[in-house]
């Protein structure tokens, strides 16, 4: 059976952000590793993977123990955004600034229209 991941939608005048939370572990206040889609008024949608600094540290430590990712010797993601603290509000603040500064295109991955 497939797990359905709920998402939290944050609507602001300059964007709509959808955060896909893990129903088993995430809350809006504590999420530290989440995929998000940011819809802009011009119709473009950008994908982001958002991590806290502590979550990156935790993943590197786990991989060091398991031998994954060259024993935790690096961390990377194409659409990666690192924020200092967990929670949808902190992540939304970062997205708000990326959109305001026009940097969302440098950080996110453009989602192509399937048509």
| Domain ranges, ordered by start, for the chain | 7-110
Surface-to-core class of residue 101, CB atoms within 10 Å of its CB (0-12 exposed, 13-18 middle, 19+ buried): exposed
Global pTM value: 0.89
Q: Strands 45-52 and 80-83: what pairing?
A: parallel
Residues 13-71: tens digit of each pLDDT? 999 999 999 888 889 999 999 999 999 999 999 999 999 999 999 999 999 999 999 99
């Amino acid at each position: 059976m497939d797990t359905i991941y709920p998402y939290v939608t944050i609507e602001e005048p300059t964007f709509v952000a959808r955060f896909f939370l893990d129903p088993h572990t995430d809350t809006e206040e504590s999420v530290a590793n989440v995929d998000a889609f940011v819809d802009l008024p011009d119709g473009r949608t950008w994908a982001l993977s958002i991590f806290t600094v502590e979550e990156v540290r935790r993943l590197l430590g786990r991989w060091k123990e398991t031998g994954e990712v060259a024993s935790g010797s690096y961390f990377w993601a194409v659409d990666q955004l690192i924020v200092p603290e967990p929670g949808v509000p902190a992540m939304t603040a970062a997205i708000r600034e990326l959109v305001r500064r026009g940097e969302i295109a440098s950080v996110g991955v453009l989602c192509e229209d399937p048509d």
